[in-house]
Amino acid sequence: MHLRSCFVLLCLAVGLAAAETTPTFSANDLDRARGMLGLARDEVVKEFYDPARVGPEFLARCRAAHEALASAKSNDAALMLIAQPFFDIGDSHTRFLPPARKDRVQHHWKFHAVGPDIFVSEVDRGSDAEKQGLKVGDQLLSLDGIRPTRASRHMLQYLFYHLAPRTGMRVVAQAPGQPPRTLDVRGEIRAGTPLRELRNDRDRTELELEYENDDERLKSRLVELLNGVLVWKLRQFDPEKIASGLRKVASAKAVILDLRGNPGGYVQSAEDVLRGFFADNFDAYTTHWRKKTETTRIKGKGYKGLLLVLMDETSASASEIFARTVQMRQRGILLGDRIAGALSTARYYPLVLGTAERFIAFGVSITLSSVVMADGSIIEGKGVGPDYQLLPTHEQLYLGHDPVLAKALTIAGRKTTPEEAGKFFPPLN
């Protein structure tokens, strides 16, 4: 199914559920929704890197959304109508971002794709998800009546966590060899100021705790083995994390760089990693902005030993640049699952509707450039395929075994079982 059609169907399903619990959509709500649509549209037309993709067809879809808003039954339904034209551009980083809600919902569990299917990847200790019996490795068969797939995962997260967040979800999950079970999983509701302006100690403390939790989840980990093998779990392309890791790479006989779950980060950091793992000079990729074009040239000064790169569906952005460069120049071996295909440079543009006394803040994420690799390949929307596709089985996911890391360690000269490899980087809770 085409992604646009898939998004429409998901919106319809989510909208029907939301309409049962949200207040009536008023004339003031309609004016506000149309105002947000207009401001977001104008910003995208002005800033999106390719004017042809935000031309007459995009404007026609915005007009259609403007008219359709008159029949919206709820604010959630209106937000989904506003989001549709921006989603239809077909770019991974261009999205309408709705106003922050006063009461925020935190869902203390996550899911990702392995091959075509969706599995639970994290469950926080003490969360309602854990209390209801949701476990890492459960296959997700349904989320509020919608069957999640690899193609729809990002759309579902966008809908459920941004456009139409809900306090709970009805989840149908299945453990390996067991019948499906239905769970009503509640999120944690945190009251706060609508704009998160840190106007009180409670908001400030909560935000600091959120940052600490994010830092822990994105912390890089390195394991140095006796036979000269370095396993580097790089969770984010961050300058400090890159610098400390590269200092240990030089003396290793083999490096296993684990980019699974790495969403990307600073472009400059991606270039630093490339320099650290290549010993020659070459053109890596060309960035096409609205009014200029830049080619990134890597001047290698780094490691020459064996390089094995682990990747999965959640590896994105800078991870994709690195993995594709390694593959393109035959510098190492890529193992795992196909990478996301979400490679572009974007910026968040805050927008305000109303007066100084009474206003609503929202925004739009806009892609400012596209990237073409040195061999002419385009990653955005396509992804990067591994040299060796290795997918954990349902049972291995449930047991926490890691056949991908086990294979890489074996290639590097340290024979390891999937069970042993699964103990290197246990899930963060």
What gap in Å lies between CA 391 and CA 385, rounded to an integer? Answer: 13
Q: How many CB atoms lie within 10 A of CB 299?
A: 11
Asked if residue 407 lies in contact with residue 335, where contact means CB atoms within 8 angstroms, the answer is: yes
Over its length of 429 residues, how does the chain's per-residue pLDDT go in tens digits?
444 544 544 554 555 454 445 457 899 999 999 999 999 999 999 999 999 999 999 999 999 999 999 999 988 889 999 999 999 999 989 999 998 777 778 888 999 999 999 999 999 999 999 999 999 999 999 999 999 999 888 888 888 887 888 888 999 999 999 999 999 999 888 765 444 443 444 444 444 444 344 445 567 888 999 889 999 999 888 887 788 889 889 889 999 999 999 988 777 788 999 999 999 999 999 999 999 999 999 999 889 999 999 999 999 889 999 999 999 999 999 999 999 888 888 899 999 998 766 778 899 999 999 999 999 999 998 999 999 999 999 999 999 999 999 999 999 999 999 999 999 987 655
Residue 98 region by backbone torsions, left for phi larger than 0, else alpha for psi between -120 and 50, else beta? beta
Short-list 242, 240, 268, CA closest to 257: 242
Q: Which CATH architecture has domain 216-345+370-421?
A: Alpha-Beta Complex (3.90)
User: How far is 233 from 245, CA to CA, in rounded Å?
Assistant: 10
pLDDT tens digit sequence for 82-100: 999 999 999 989 999 998 7
d(CA 414, CA 406): 9
d(CA 356, CA 195): 14
Q: What is the pLDDT of residue 356?
A: 66
**From-to residues of CATH 3.90.226.10 in the chain:** 216-345+370-421
Task: Tell me the chain's radius of gyration from C-alpha atoms.
Answer: 23
How far is 2 from 8, CA to CA, in rounded Å?
A: 10
Sign of CA dihedral 6, 9, 13, 15: positive
Predicted confidence at residue 213, as pLDDT, reads 44
Q: Give me 194's structure tokens.
A: 């609508």
Helical H segments across 69-196, by residue range: 75-87, 128-131, 153-158
Q: Give the residue carrying structure tokens 């296993």.
A: 256
Q: How far apart are CA 149 and CA 155, in angstroms?
A: 10
